[in-house]
Structure 1
């Protein structure tokens, strides 16, 4: 019954938001209350889970969102993103922008937290979308979400990739070789398929795009009066590049065993983004002066509030799902048969990870839980742990939706309606998950 009630809760949330036009915050709380009470979590424990889940998510991403949005607001105000988009269009052409973005996200930035990636990259997606055409924002959004998660699950040192490899005792070097092929290939193929999907009547801008007033102000307010006053592009990008380098250095230091307390401090995402914020603030003050900087900061603060609230409530729903004990039930439902053929074992691993992700709402948690379920029986399966691990990674991407706090961050930062987020992020991760599965089957032939 817990599985059924979880499905009902997710369906209720979707119907309330899309059909009844109920605000997502209210809809998510209703769904969380229903799930907690219907599954026997209890009145008090449900409320505690909602509050605790909100607090835990804010502890994890609250500062990241706040610092990231403020960096974006100030860089936009000095014309940095406009300059970046112009360079990209001149360099790769408007039509190739989504492919360049998804390739970069799936290969260069997997060491960065997904929350940081979307916060820093969303202004580029929003700014360049109109240059591609009527469905440009949708194409850029799909490319961004796909690239982020393809890198996250397949490419070392993405958190999900490292976790799966560690739990299944797969050498990181071996995983890296295959992941560097599967990650970007999945992202680029998915972005191409998504482009074909957008050629029809799939995307309806009036319903699927929903830039709120705060985001609209942030998108349209370039306070710099002349392009010549904007610092050189490389200098403009330092508030983004420096945090990325700091975080990546910390991740690689830990990966290769030479980390220490100071390196951990430097590589912490919150501190790294604060350094970026200081850099953006200094650039903004130098370019626009005190008054212009205050205006840009105010617009950033205006945008941050709604994103923080809806992200936190998404975490509340995830916490209630965790209290139901759904992962334990799924572990009992799926058992590995020692005599199962290779294809069936791969499909089983994919399904376990996909179902866990649909239920829990976290790619990394689904990947870790699936690896924990399958790991103990790997010895009785006549198949490489690498292949099972890649199947788990593929399934863990499937259909990121409303019970993920990332879903709501993505929605707000890109400027989409809930329906538009389903059509881009949920559809993109679903296609990526399915597209990568045959690749995993192909790896089974050679691994």
Structure 2
């Protein structure tokens, strides 16, 4: 088959995947697998080889990242159940003050808290961010909303153990320790510079309080049940496509949570999957270092393994403990132990059950991305693209960024666009002579471009931080797009040295 035919078929398949997701509202994982099967059949692999390749690709990526994603999500679910995030945000405000807290919160969310499922992290931290906003002056809401949007989205694709980051590392065969180290080198300056740029324009007329923020309306007192659980109500429920379903009402309970301020129509409690388990109150309140210590230990172990490998040092014990699946398991066990001593075994078990529910959809989506990547490799498209790029140019990094950006604009999912873009170029990574971690970072950066109304994160930020849709287009869409370009810039700088 001619090169142009393979390229044309692959392009048509990608468009077909986007149409299935958007037009026919087919589940993204199903759409990716259908696209992979279609690619195999249309490029002449035959029925038997096509199904074998799809299944092999799914299994291969699960072997690499399946347990890593599961351990990370479970660790985040337990931290959420302990109320670790609210304690952390309050501590940041006390330490860094009003001017520094957007940066401190952004860096903390983007790096330290990435084991927590995004929607859970957003819903837990947004009421606290909104409580801080008035202390930052006239543009407090704009600054906090922008910092949260940038850090939440960057963390998913640039920081271990963010679910898309782990998936990208698996698809491109990047050791997780390297992904952690180089991801940190990109995400930290990206968050700082992006927030700084957005704050500059916010103070110079970008943000209009009267049109970009909802008017503040007094809320009715929150109800408290017999267990001391504050119950919130809200009138917006969000489906997976990010579109608000009006007219539905849900309730959620948060231990000791303050009622969110803002308009009645925008009151949002915890999402259904984030409902905390009622339990007996305890006087045992561990410090932040105790809560996050096991997670930090696991990240240190992973990073140490990468440093030892770079230094050419081999040690069986150190090698075993720094293996990502072992390191994250140690962190999970430590977090579970702290939680059992703090909130009790029943609530930990409930948190783990919720975590397994969340990890299921992530694992299936990641596996589907692996099927597509395997099919692209088998079809020969990798060899074709390899003819047009050289290792001495930045073209491959720009191409993977553009592919991920276009996919994200069309589909509206950061994870899907990053995984699909990486899967398309994974087969040519060895031929290019470029460190695959750069391709992973470029794909992650591109997938951040133009987070818009098809994103669940967009609507959650809009409703929970008291923004209008116009305001959210500025703080979220523009803010994260700035971060996307900045992250690409730092990735290109990094490519000079590795």
Match of 1:240 in 2: 295
Q: Which moved more, 1:95-104 or 1:13-22?
A: 95-104
In structure 2, the residue matched to 1:55 is: 59
Is the 2:72–2:328 contact (alpha carbons within 8 Å) kept by the matching residues of 1? yes
What residue in structure 1 maps to residue 42 of structure 2?
38
Query: Which residue is 1:13 aligned to?
Result: 17
Contact 1:58 1:312 in 2 (8 A): yes
2:106 is the counterpart of 1:67: no
The one of 86, 93, 101 aligned to 2:90: 86
| Matched position secondary structure for 1:119 | coil
Q: Compute the RMSD of aligned alpha carbons.
A: 5.2
Match of 2:136 in 1: none
Q: Which moved more, 1:322-331 or 1:82-91?
A: 82-91
- Counterpart mapping for 1:94-173 below 5 A: 99-100=103-104, 103=107, 118-120=114-116, 122=118, 124-132=121-129, 140-146=148-154
| Corresponding residue for residue 112 of structure 1 | none
- Quote how far apart the aligned CAs of 1:151 are: 7.1
Q: Give distance in 2, aligned partners of 1:243 and 1:6.
A: 39
Task: Give unpaired runs (5+ residues) of structure 2.
Answer: 131-140, 161-165, 214-235, 253-269, 408-416, 462-473
In proportion to residue count, which structure has more helix? 1
Distance 1:105 1:238 in 2: 16
Contact 1:397 1:430 in 2 (8 A): no
Evaluate the alpha carbon distance shift between residue 245 and residue 199 of structure 1 in structure 2; reply closer, same or farther with a 3 A threshold: same
> 1:25/1:233 Cα in 2 relative to 1: closer, same or farther (>3 Å)?
same
1:279 Cα offset (Å): 1.2
Tell me the distance in 2 between the aligned counterparts of 1:426 and 1:313.
Answer: 27
Q: 2:379 aligns with which of 319, 324, 330?
A: 324
Counterparts of residues 35-434 of structure 1 (less than 5 Å): 35-92=39-96, 99-100=103-104, 103=107, 118-120=114-116, 122=118, 124-132=121-129, 140-146=148-154, 184-191=188-195, 208=242, 216-221=271-276, 223=278, 226=281, 228-334=283-389, 348=395, 350-351=397-398, 354=401, 361=420, 363=422, 366=425, 369=428, 372-373=431-432, 395=442, 397=444, 399-400=446-447, 431-432=482-483, 434=485
Alpha-carbon distance in structure 1 between the residues aligned to 2:122 and 2:290: 20
Partner of 1:155: none
TM-superposed CA distance for 1:329, in Å, is 0.5
The farther-off stretch of 237-246 and 364-373 is 364-373
Q: Which runs of 5+ in 1 are unaligned?
A: 110-116, 153-157, 165-171, 337-344, 376-387, 402-406, 418-422
Q: Give the match for residue 218 of structure 2.
A: none
Offset from partner CA, 1:302-327 (integer Å, 9 cap, x none): 32222222222222222212222222
Q: Match of 1:40, SS?
A: coil
- In the TM superposition, residue 250 of structure 1 has moved relative to its aligned partner by 1.2
- Compared with structure 1, are the counterparts of its residues 397 and 233 closer, same or farther at alpha carbon in structure 2 (3 Å cutoff)? closer
Aligned in 2, Cα 1:187/1:289: closer, same or farther, shift over 3 Å? Answer: closer
Change beyond 3 A, Cα 1:395–1:332 = same
Structure 1 residues 81 and 326, CA, compared in 2 at 3 Å: closer, same or farther? same
Aligned length: 391
What's the CA shift string for 1:322-351, capped at 9, x where partnerless? 222222111223469xxxxxxxx7554544
What is the Cα deviation at residue 146 of structure 1? 2.7
CA contact (8 A) 1:65 1:308 kept: yes
Mapped partners of 1:320, 1:30: distance in 2: 11
Q: Which has the higher strand share?
A: 2
For the 8 Å contact 1:98–1:139, the answer to whether it is kept is yes
Change (3 A) 1:247 1:103: same
Tell me, in whole angstroms, the C-alpha distance in 1 between the residues paired with 2:375 and 2:477: 22
Which region of structure 1 is more displaced relative to structure 2, 314-323 or 133-142? 133-142
For the residue of structure 2 that corresponds to 1:229, the secondary structure is: coil
* Deviation for aligned residue 1:53: 1.5
Look up the match of 2:26.
22
